[in-house]
Amino acid sequence: MALRHDWTKEEILEIYNKPFMELLYEAATVHRQHHDPNTVQVSTLLSIKTGGCPEDCGYCPQAARYHTDLEGNDLMSVNQVKAQALRAKEAGSSRVCMGAAWRNVKDGEEFDNVLEMVRTINKLDMEVCCTLGMLTENQAQRLAEAGLYAYNHNLDTSEEYYKEVISTRGYEDRLKTIDNVRKTNVTVCSGGIIGMGESEEDRAGMLVALATLNPQPESVPINALVPVEGTPMEEQEPVPIWDMVRMVATTRIVMPETQVRLSAGRTQMSREGQAMCFFAGANSIFAGDKLLTTPNPDVNEDMEMFKMLGLNPQKAFEKKAQPESVDADKSQYQSKGEKPRWTRPGHSIDRNLQAQEKAKTKA
């Protein structure tokens, strides 16, 4: 399946609403064409500055205007971040994402400290991701020079529904930050949240906004809203697991080479539900007891689940996507005299290559 950047909302809605088993099969097929289905990246999300945010995101307990039980903290020190990164690596994480509750990055001592955190984690041979709010082109370049691997800036939802979620930052502001990151060698991580009262059309609209970017984001987190008391969305009903699987599957189909990240809301999912998400194309999770401020499964529970499902943690900087077709895969590696990464005895891609060879021999 070749990459497309011209998806329409109608096409994506048609995929999203396919009979469940058909959707699951198609997504799993696409996933196996582009990724190792038994490999899932484990990432750790670390809140390096919590609370006091001037934004009014309706889902977020870090907004200063909402009355939640969140305990804020000032920016962590470089040594504190390094210690947590080392613990994360020992527990199996290959990526650390640092989040700060800022509306936008401001040049100065705090940003300089973040740059040093990036350099420090980069030396640990881990992927480093940041989510710090809006960035200028110059700030994005400075992060790139420090060794940042990815920058997260979620679209959250469709452009049409966005105004129901947040008023202190426009949709174009988010797209501008992504554009500034794209001017560097830093990869883009951008996704959204379902369960905020949006319609299926809004979910499709968010995927249209992401899938029509060229290039598409290297990572797309799919979050299920975790309602927090004191926020405007505290009364929202939990997202059904079927909706999460459909969203993961649709994301996988329209963005086949992207790392689809099963993010917030996993504490509400059974292992069976998470397994369906992996089958549908999710190939990344966040480990640790918290995702910034919301609960998350314990890392030991995740490792037990990995063992049960036969999943292997992905290594840092490991190639994530396969070429767009088996023929491209074959020619790419034959020219180098190498064997494709995913071509191993018994693997589906290996069988496909063998079948092609037999067909050519008979012809």
Q: Is 60 annotated as a binding residue?
A: yes
Amino acid identity of 330? K
53 among known catalytic residues: yes
Is residue 331 over pLDDT 70? no
| DSSP string computed for 111-151 | HHHHHHHHHHHHTTT-EEEEE-SB--HHHHHHHHHHT--EE
Please check if 261 is assigned to a binding site. yes
65 is in an annotated binding site: no
Residue 129 labelled as part of a binding site: yes
Write down the H helix ranges in 20-103.
20-34, 78-90
Task: Give the integer Cα–Cα distance in Å for 327 and 352.
Answer: 10
**Is 351's pLDDT higher than 70?**
no
Q: Which of 25-34, 57-66, 161-170, 326-335 has the lowest mean pLDDT?
A: 326-335
Determine which one of 53, 169, 246, 252 is catalytic: 53
Which one is catalytic: 57, 182, 203, 266?
Answer: 57
Backbone angles phi, psi at 297, to 5 degrees: -60, 150
Query: Does the annotation flag 130 for ligand binding?
Result: no
- For residues 261-270, give the mean pLDDT: 86
- Is 189 annotated to bind a ligand? Reply is yes
Catalytic residue, chosen from 60, 130, 174, 182, is: 60
Q: How crowded is residue 230: how many other Cβ atoms within 10 Å of its Cβ?
A: 12
In the residue annotation, 130 being an active-site residue is answered as no
Mean pLDDT of the chain: 83
Calpha distance 279→259 (Å, rounded): 14
Distance CA 262, CA 191 (A): 10
Q: Say yes or no to pLDDT of 162 above 80.
A: yes
Task: Look at residue 324 in the predicted model and tell me its pLDDT.
Answer: 38
Distance CA 224, CA 240 (A): 9
Active-site residue identified among 203, 246, 261, 266: 261
- Pair 65, 261: CB distance under 8 Å: no
pLDDT at 357 over 50: no
Count of CB atoms situated within 10 Å of the CB of 86: 14
Asked if the model's pLDDT at residue 62 lies above 50, the reply is yes
Instruction: Decide if 277 is catalytic.
Output: no
pLDDT of residue 292: 46
Q: What are phi and psi of 126, to 5 degrees?
A: -125, 150
- Specify whether the CB–CB gap between 290 and 84 falls below 8 A: no
Q: How far apart are CA 84 and CA 70, in angstroms?
A: 20
Q: Among the options 97, 142, 182, 203, which is catalytic?
A: 97
The DSSP bridge partners found for residue 5 are none
What type of residue is 206? M
Catalytic status, residue 261: yes
| Burial of 79: CB neighbours in 10 Å, binned 0-12, 13-18, 19+ | exposed
Domains, the chain, ordered by start = 9-313 (3.20.20.70), 326-362 (no CATH)
The reply to whether the predicted model has a pTM over 0.75 is yes
* Distances in whole angstroms, Cα of residue 277 to Cα of each of 85, 182, 214: 27, 29, 26
Q: Which range (88-102, 248-262, 286-300) has the least confidence?
A: 286-300
The question of whether 129 is a catalytic residue gets the answer yes
What's the rounded Cα separation, in Å, for the pair 245 and 242? 5
